[in-house]
Structure formats: C-alpha cells, structure tokens
Amino acid sequence: MINQAAAPTSTYIPSLDGIRAVSIAIVYLAHAGLSSVPGGLGVTAFFFLSGYLITTLLRREFEANGNVAYREFYWRRAWRIFPPMYVALAFGTIASVLGLTTNESTGQATVTGVALQGLHLSNYAQLTRFAPELPGGTGVFWSLAIEEHFYLIFPVCAVFLMRRFSRRAQSAVVIGVCGLVLAWRIVLVQVFDAVSDRTYLATDTRIDAILFGCAMGMYLNPAMDRVPKPKASIAVGVSLVALAVIVGSIAVRDPFFQTTVMYTVQSAALLPLFFFAVQRPSLWLFRPLNFGWVRFIGVLSYSFYLIHHVVL
C-alpha cells in the first residue's frame, strides 16, 4: 500500500545533520590511516548534500517570492563558510611556518600557496606546480573550492530553469549535465591519459556529485513535494540495494572505472538513500541519523573537516 505524503513545510531537515556526521566519520577514518575506508565516498556524500540543500533553499525562496535575492543568498553562504575557513587556513599556515605540519613536498607554505587556498583555487593548484606551496594539512580545501565554484554559478542557473521549465524538466536538464560531466571524464582518461587526481580534484570533473543532489531538490523533493510513501519494506529494500551498489563500486579496482564511472554510480546510488533518509527518518535504517548526539556531530562537521587534517 502506498500512502500520499503531506508536503513537509519545515526548513530544518534533521537527517541531513546525521548524514553529515556519517560523512565526516568516513573522511576522518580514511585520513587517520585506515586505507580500507573510502574517504572519497564521504566527500561525494558532502557534495550531494550541498546540492540538495542549496536547491531546496533556492526553491523555497523562489516559490514564496517569485525570485531569489542573490545578495542575501551569497551573504548567508559567506557568513556560514568563510569565517571558519579562513580561521582554519590561518591556523594551518601558522602551524606550517612553525614546522608543526609539513607539506609532502617542501614542508613550507608560501604566500602564493596561501593565496591560492584563500581564493578557492586549491583544487586546481594541487594539479599544478603550485601544489608544494600549499600549507601542510590544508589539502582538504580542494573540496571547498569545488563548492564555492558551484555557489558562484548554480543559483543564477537554477532561477533561469525555474522560470522557464517544469520541475521535472529542470531535473532532467541537470541530470543531462551530469551525463556530460561523465563523458568529459571518459575523454580526459581515454584520450588525454589524465591521471586520477585530475578527475578527482577538478571542479569540471566532480561537479556532477553536487548536481545529482540538485536534481533531487528540483523534482520529487521529499522535504517539499507530495511524494507517495512506499511501504517500509520497499523503502528499506531499495536503500539496501543502493548501499550494495556503493559497496560494489568501491570493490571494483579497475583504474578506468575508478577515475570515471565510479563517481556517477555512487552519486546516483545516493539518490534513494537521501530520499528515504529525509522522507522516512523513523525507519530503522535511518533512525540513528536522527539521534541527538549524531546530529550534534553533524552540526560541527564543517569546522571539524577544515581542521582535522592539520590536527592529524
């Protein structure tokens, strides 16, 4: 039996904090030396979450006001992201200068390296000769750079789509862009012999993880839309299959798959997991995400993510 779900109205989605907690735990354990833990999966989950949350916020504002106040949007993003980031960058730089942390190549940060981090160019900097100049322990800033590039472009694109297309068409366009990103990764690897870091760190090859979350935010958004609720057994079954797909993607060791298709498979598999975590948080599979202490870790996850590499 399928029940029609009422359209939720709350702007707070507790399960997302729980997902943040799980994601930061995956990243931390991987960076702490547990090579069997797929740290990249935690980053992919963060990307998906950002796309879904930002799209949901933009949709709420657009549907309420018929437009998006870009100045206020960017001010809120800047106030949330920049203060912890620049404090962490200053901390990492001082620690590097004092010799408390080391860069793998030189052991010393430079003004250029710090500037590249501060200007959100560190993901591409790590692919160039400037990589040795970045402060030791701040390498994780590459993912923040991708998110900042996304924030700069996506709100305008989202409003354009919302003004001209149905929600289903909006989502289809975004999924189409994800397909183009996959095709671009394949071209880079097959034609240009790109190394794994090129497809892992660059905005143009990782933005699709964020866009998959955007697609769910646009169409059949469990936090905004009246989406039918399947039986609990179906929701759990689909979620377990999605988890199995993710585990299987990690187990495949083929270099071509790992540098191209794996990111698409994992991002697509996150769709049902995020959907049911938001729509059916009381299910046994997702209930732990809503424990108070888990959500508390999720609230702190951004700041912890910024400094955990320096601390380690």
Q: What is the DSSP letter of 4?
A: E
Contact 122, 116 (CB under 8 A): yes
CA of residue 41 relative to chain centroid, distance: 9
In contact, 245 and 262? CB cutoff 8 Å: no
What global pTM score does this model have?
A: 0.94
Domain ranges of the chain: 3-7+22-311
**Which tens digit of pLDDT belongs to each residue from 199-223?**
999 999 999 999 999 999 999 999 9
Give the pLDDT confidence score for residue 131 in this predicted structure. Answer: 82
3-state secondary structure 79-147: HHHHHHHHHHHHHHHHHHHCCCCCCCCCCCCCHHHHHHHHCCCHHHHCCCCCHHHCCCCCCCHHHHHHH
**CA pair distance 191, 166, nearest whole angstrom:** 37
pLDDT tens across the length of the chain (312 residues):
334 444 444 568 999 999 999 999 999 999 988 888 999 999 999 999 999 999 999 999 999 999 999 999 999 999 999 999 999 999 888 888 887 776 554 446 789 989 999 999 999 999 998 887 888 888 899 999 999 999 999 999 999 999 999 999 999 999 999 999 999 999 999 999 999 999 999 999 999 999 999 999 999 999 999 999 999 999 999 999 999 999 999 999 999 999 999 999 999 999 999 999 999 999 999 999 999 999 999 999 999 999 888 877
Give the integer Cα–Cα distance in Å for 36 and 197: 19
Query: What's the chain's Rg over C-alpha atoms?
Result: 20
